[in-house]
Amino acid sequence: MISILSNKQITAKIKHQGAELCSLLANDTQKEYIWEGNPEYWGKHSPVLFPIVGTLKNNSFQIDNTSYQLARHGFARDMNFELIDKTENSVTFSIQSSVETLKIYPFEFELQIIYALEGKKLNIAYNVINKNQSQLPFSIGAHPAFALNGNFEDYELQFEKDETLVYHLLENDLISKKTKRVEKQDNLVPLNYPLFENDALIFKSLESESLNILKNGIPLLKIDFQGFPHLGIWTKKDAPFLCIEPWYGYSDTDESTGNLFEKEGIQIIEANSIFNSIFSVAIF
């Protein structure tokens, strides 16, 4: 099933499977901003990463001396979400812990994802509800792929701040100690495929809390990720899309102990409490 939100400026379509944004359309030009999901390159559009972001060492973690297996990026993206609220400009989806999730993630939770239109902007909010009488460790992240048609090198990223951009490299899907600096001009980063020859660019910290995607110097999109501590940027060789991924958390390092509460970048919610975050995508 797909839910549709539309106002005078934009139309958004969200699959109930994974509560995944699959279309963001400008109503006047009919321009599509979300990657089509062609499996020749990558068969997703904008999966939600929960309750982990990235890869665990040995794809496992431990809680109270018990080991659990949890695949890359978690399970939320593969689950059917329930539609629990819909208004003229917003839609709210939910999944909850179950007998099946407890086998691989031994915590009671509810995850709500809210999509809301605001002019030419789509707001995407995450509510993680801890239903336990103890702490809940988790990560959550977005993975939206934006369609970049034509010559990839016609595009560039404009960061909010003119800062030094240092990212961590992945080795065997884990965060390594190796870092690289992104070449830029002022706060502009020209795009090219060799930039991603070692997989995603993983930024553990940034001063910027938003960035624009430009084509031939003209802004196309603004992604605002205020409050998100980490950011991933990724594409595949010759693929006509770019993922801009605000995260709370990232892959394990090779030195990970496996204790989920000690995991680098992990978030902790106190008993019977709620975590809230929001990011947005605006078209120009």
pLDDT digits (tens, 9 = 90+) for 1-37: 999 999 999 999 999 999 999 999 999 999 999 999 9
Comparing CA positions, the residue from 87, 138, 79 lying closest to residue 274 is 138
Instruction: Break the chain into its structural domains and give their ranges.
Output: 2-283
Question: What is the per-residue pLDDT for 117?
Answer: 98
Helix, strand or coil, per DSSP, at residue 154: helix
pLDDT tens column, 105-122: 999 999 999 999 999 999
Is pLDDT of 186 > 90? no
Which phi and psi (to 5°) does residue 46 adopt? Answer: -165, 65
Spatial separation of the C-alpha atoms in residues 30 and 8, rounded to whole Å = 12
Spatial separation of the C-alpha atoms in residues 225 and 123, rounded to whole Å = 10
pLDDT tens column, 126-160: 999 999 999 999 999 999 999 999 999 999 999 99
pLDDT tens column, 34-78: 999 999 999 999 999 999 999 999 999 999 989 999 999 999 999
Question: What is the per-residue pLDDT for 140?
Answer: 98
Is pLDDT of 231 > 90? yes
pLDDT tens column, 189-224: 999 999 999 999 999 999 999 999 999 999 999 999
How sure is the predictor about 80, in pLDDT bands with cuts at 50, 70 and 90? very high
Spatial separation of the C-alpha atoms in residues 156 and 177, rounded to whole Å = 27
Q: Tell me the average pLDDT across 78-82.
A: 98
Helix, strand or coil, per DSSP, at residue 128: strand
Is pLDDT of 282 > 90? yes
**CA distances (Å), origin 66, targets 35, 63, 80, 144, 233:** 40, 5, 28, 34, 34
Spatial separation of the C-alpha atoms in residues 67 and 179, rounded to whole Å = 31
Question: What is the per-residue pLDDT for 284?
Answer: 96
CATH classification of 2-283 is 3.90.550.10, yes or no?
Answer: no
The pLDDT mean for the chain works out to 97
- Proportion of the chain in helix, strand, coil states, percent, rounded to 5: 10, 50, 40
Pairing state between β 174-181 and 210-215: unpaired
Comparing CA positions, the residue from 237, 248, 176 lying closest to residue 205 is 248
Q: In the structure encoding, which two tokens stand for residue 27, read together?
A: 């109503």
Question: What is the per-residue pLDDT for 71?
Answer: 95
Spatial separation of the C-alpha atoms in residues 106 and 259, rounded to whole Å = 13
Question: What is the per-residue pLDDT for 206?
Answer: 96
